[in-house]
Structure 1
Amino acid sequence: MSNLLTRRAMLAATAAGLGNVALAQAPLRSLRPEARAAAASSGVKSAITAASVVGAHKLSGHVGCALVDPLNGKILDQHFPELQLPPASVTKAITAAFGLQNLGPKYCFETRLHVVGKVSEGLLRGDLMLIGSADPTLHTDDLVRFAKALHKTGIRRVEGRLLVVDDGFAYLREIDHNQLPQANYNPAVSGFNLNLNRVQFEWERRANGRYDVSMHAPGHIYRPQIHSIQMQTVARSSPSYTYAHSTSGERWSVQRSALGKDGGRWLPTRNPRLYAGEAFQGICAEMGLIMPSPTVLHERYDKPAAAVEIARKSSKPYTEITRSMLKMSTNLTAEVIGLTASDAPNLERSVAALTRFAEAHGMVVRLLDHSGLSDRSRLSAGGLARFMAWQYRNGLPDLLKHKVLRDRGKPIPDVQLRAKTGTLNFVSTMSGYLTHEGQTLGFAILTADLERRARAQGSERPRGAKSWEARSRSLQHAVLRNWLKYLG
């Protein structure tokens, strides 16, 4: 139990973390918890507590939960609220609030195409510059629009360089190094994030049993082939995939017997800037535009005086991107938001800024990323519920996905549930807001069987994980139904 903090340690850490911090936009009263041991003491009719519901479900592992009134900070119900457990993707809710505070609801990511040099009879004697700002929504179709804009200028050939400039944005080869290499939810992060930094691996079985394989960056019209990412099929018993990385290319191998007949799947790319540049080069080639292989520049971009902008893509505003990120639980988008909001040069310093933000809201946390992908991150249900109470008036509820609270399979009428869930193998979490008859409460429910998770390391689909998660979700909804007695 070395990962579980005691109450004394938690309170000491909270005091240390909050000693010199001024909190903005506080609730009506202090958020220091006024715990109520049982529902009966609060005047609520039923005396069944969260502890009773958790005990009845007999879920293996650990459970921590807390219910907080955001108007006064009172804890209305709790069960091991200080237990430190992995938050999984609930971390994204903290990151969303962090970005909302530092970037604002209207912030947009921009990608630009600049020309530097002279054009004569369709020949550009100079450089073409593709400049990124880490837009997590950049798609192959956006590069098609850039290529069409370039074609309209009359340029047909570039004599200089095709520069891919990431504006000095932090580069991560992967989010969490403990994941399997083929996990496409664990891609690289950079100033260019084309197709969520995923490449489409496709295979077709020939009559002799061999395979034709290819890598693409598919769009709705063009699907340029990516030659710097190569795949080899190998006859072996395990592992399913292997990966080798270099700055000039990526080398994959796949277990031949795992492929079947014909098919495809997304794989993560680790050279995302080169990937974006090569995709753009391929699209241009299909339009009859000849240009050199891309050159990656990792530096802050100051627009040269002679540069001419010929195309620009602005993303949707922050609130729309973040709603999608929370709904789809997109790890790359969470990492981009956190790194952009902190303006830090690397993941460690960015996560440190996110940690300070969480601590300023009364939490005791250990965060390893902005997305919750690492199972080494830790926080408590009590701290997370208090954080939700703090953020009640700061716009976070409007970003969270609307979910349905059910009883015996049927939706419960007139109840609004806005929440972020998180799932790792043998980890299941939920946090957000429960609303009924005009009253809203903040909550957090964390569950984890860390022993079974440790035994399942290295397995993409460990036995028993899916059924354990289903039991955890059943427990979470039972706790939420029980908490309805505090509303209305």
Structure 2
Amino acid sequence: MMKRIATWIAPLLCLLSIANPSAASATPASDTPHDLSALIAQIDTITHQPRYAAADWGIAVVSLDSGHMLYAQNAGRLFQPASIAKLFTAALTLSTLATDYRIPTRLLSAAPIRHGRLEGPLLLYGMGDPTLGTPGANPAWADDLAGQLTARGVHTIRGDLVADDSYFAGPQFGSGWEASDLLGWFAAPAAALSVHENIVALTVTPAATAGGPARLSFAPDTAAPPLTGSLTTAAPHSHDDINLYRAPGHPLLHAFGSIPAGTPARTYRLAIPDPAQQAGEELRAALASHGIKLEGQLRVLHWPERDDALRSHAQVLAELLSPPVTEILAQGLKRSQNLYLQNLLQIDGIGAKAAAADKPDTPSGFLSDEAWGLRALHDLLGRIGIAPSSVLLEEGTGLSRGNLVTPEAMVRLLQYLAAQPWAATLRDMLPVAGVDGTLKRRMHDGPAIDRVQAKTGSMAHVHSIAGYVTTAGGERLAFTILLNNYEPAPDAPAANQDIDAIVQLLAGWHGAD
């Protein structure tokens, strides 16, 4: 089904919890509770408002100091979590990978080098780095790899350049991701060979006068997709009618409609449909700029295609390493970046698959790396003591509406995380109320500011937050707040305003009776 860009990409951006300044709570300190009974009564007052009659609240608050459950509302029921599901992937990754692990991207070849000529194909092999080509993480990645090849004396490649992202076994989108999401940046392909976070920015600029064609530009321009249709410039003060559509699985972008004259340019961030192709094109250009002649063509390998002969007895000719996995996780949680968490889940799955290779209970038949990652997550939850029926996850980001968790399971996970040697590291990865990440513009006044570290989540009819707060009385709490099946009336406050008000109450609480 075709949907207008103005009406479907913009609302769904909230899936990654882009903050809304109007959602900030303004609960004054004088209204903060001084005992547990007052805390419970004030939370109940918020959740029992008439506008939530058809909605569902799920809340669990646990003291990390005493271990006692201080507040629970529907804590044992399943809710859609949205992006707070990323905390489960983070827990698995921190339990599985070394915190200083860096993900490689390599140039490989089994061919010999004779007199500066590589006598065969060159393989650009991605192993899951989601940060390649981003500021602070190998932004000049293609030039760096080509430079390493030049340093080996290579000036000619007598074969093809093969961009290979088959390291991940499984589709490049998470289970349960909806087809209508796949054009948006938040559902960019979770590819083993990724570049620029698999995002291209499209800017639509109106002509100087009505009737003229709007100008469409892409950044990076090398990632511009094939384009059809046209956007015109409408009369000043008319409504935007910008429509963008790409059929799932096809690169062709359709653009049509209009943008009013005299209005600012509009920018949309779109998923790159084939990141490996994009990476291959960028490396081919870098090879040429370094004077390396490619005699063959650019080819792309996607799962389930394989060419094991390319990697058999291959040597590493050049290599780039990602930032440490802790930095990737921090970016993924602060910004709620889906690509980062889905790639980490698949890397975790590859490790789980290798560890299970010689065990008698290893499943027969094919399992995707995503499925292996979820299998490892369920094993971890069992060790924590979280019932499998209370955490039903399909992928690693929270984007799937098939994900279901109970508030009780979420706070149990937070308790586990708080007791690990890397607890402080994990806590520093979370957005801080009023300070950074997806909480930068939320709770920027009142008792919660700089005392709440929490992961946010939001999609249509789903609003959530889970994390830690230190109360006014100095008690450390873990909390989860989930609101499902809620659509505010046009004149009603944003849902996050009441969620933030509950967090402010927790932050302002002075202690138990």
TM-score (norm 1): 0.75
The answer to which structure, 1 or 2, has the higher relative contact order (CA under 8 A, 6+ apart) is 2
Of residues 462, 471, 474, the one that matches 2:500 is 474
Please tell me whether residue 357 in structure 1 is matched to residue 380 in structure 2: yes
Residues 144 and 54 (structure 1), Cα distance of their counterparts in 2 relative to 1, 3 Å cut? farther
Correspondent of 2:426 among 399, 407, 417 = 399
Identity between Structure 1 and Structure 2 (%) = 21
Q: CA deviation at 1:90?
A: 0.7
Q: Once the 2 structures are TM-superposed, how far is the Cα of residue 253 of structure 1 from its aligned partner?
A: 0.6
CA contact (8 A) 1:114 1:129 kept: yes
SS at match of 1:91: helix
Q: Distance in 1 between matches of 2:443 and 2:479?
A: 22
Q: How far does residue 245 in structure 1 lie from its aligned partner after superposition?
A: 4.9
**Residues 259-310 of structure 1: per-residue CA shift (max 9 Å, x gap):** 9785643211232222221222233344444432233264496885764433
Cα contact 1:53–1:478 (8 A) shared by 2? no
Q: Does residue 348 of structure 2 align to residue 341 of structure 1?
A: yes
Structure 2 residue 78 is the aligned partner of structure 1 residue 84: yes
User: Are positions 1:240 and 2:240 aligned together?
Assistant: no
Q: 1:106 aligns with which of 100, 107, 113?
A: 100
CA deviation map 1:77-117 (0-9, x unaligned): 22221232211111111110111111132222111112443
Counterpart-to-counterpart distance in 2, 1:94 and 1:264? 33
1:441 maps to 2:477: yes
SS in 1 for 2:451: strand
Q: How does 1:121-160 map to 2 (within 5 A)?
A: 123-139=117-133, 141-160=140-159
Report what 1:366 is aligned to. Answer: 392
Report deviation, 1:348.
Answer: 4.0
Structure 2 CA distance for aligned equivalents of residues 204 and 116 of structure 1 = 48
8 Å CA contact 1:66–1:382 kept in 2: the answer is: yes
C-alpha distance in structure 1 between counterparts of 2:94 and 2:228, whole Å: 44
1:294 aligns with 2:299: yes
Supply the distance in 2 between the matched residues of 1:90 and 1:408 (Cα, whole angstroms).
18
Deviations 1:181-225 (A, max 9, x none): 431101111211211111333556678733565655x3xxxx6x2
Residue segments in structure 2 that go unaligned for 5+ positions in a row: 1-33, 134-138, 233-239, 354-367, 436-441
Give the Å deviation of 1:431. Answer: 1.1
Larger CA deviation: 105-114 vs 288-297? 288-297
CA distance in 1, matches of 2:258, 2:112: 54
Q: Give, in whole Å, the separation in 1 of the partners of 2:127 and 2:75.
A: 40
Query: What corresponds to 1:378 in structure 2?
Result: 404
Letter in 2 for 1:434: V
The 2-side partners of 1:301 and 1:440 are apart by 53
The number of equivalent residue pairs is: 425
Cα distance, 1:62 vs. partner? 2.0
Indicate yes or no: 2:459 matched with 1:424. yes
What pairs up with 1:39-78 in 2 under 5 angstroms?
A: 45-50=35-40, 52-56=42-46, 58=49, 60=52, 61-70=55-64, 73-78=67-72
CA-atom RMSD in angstroms: 3.6
Which deviates further from its counterpart, 71-80 or 95-104?
71-80
Conserved 8 A contact 1:50-1:479 = no
Report the more deviating stretch, 157-166 or 398-407: 398-407
Structure 1: gaps (5+ residues)? 1-43, 454-462
Q: Give the partner amino acid of 1:440.
A: R
Q: State the SS of the aligned residue for 2:167.
A: coil
Compared with structure 1, are the counterparts of its residues 51 and 107 closer, same or farther at alpha carbon in structure 2 (3 Å cutoff)? farther
Q: Secondary structure at the match of 1:126?
A: coil
Work out the CA distance in 2 between the residues paired with 1:373 and 1:195: 20
Deviation digits for residues 346-387 of structure 1, max 9, x if unmatched? 434533443453355325122122111123322121221122
Counterpart amino acid of 2:106? R
TM-score normalised over the length of structure 2: 0.72
Distance change (3 Å), C-alpha of 1:305 and 1:253: closer
Partner of 1:266: 269
- Higher percent of residues as strand: 1
2:278 is aligned with 1:255:
no
Q: What is the CA–CA distance in structure 1 between the aligned matches of 2:142 and 2:120, rounded to whole Å?
A: 20
Q: d(CA) in 2 for partners of 1:282 and 1:431?
A: 45
Residue aligning to 1:20: none
Q: Provide closer, same or farther for how the CA distance between residues 129 and 332 of structure 1 changes in structure 2, counting only shifts above 3 A.
A: same
CA distance in 2 between counterparts of 1:165 and 1:302 reads: 13
Distance 1:405 1:121, change over 3 A: closer
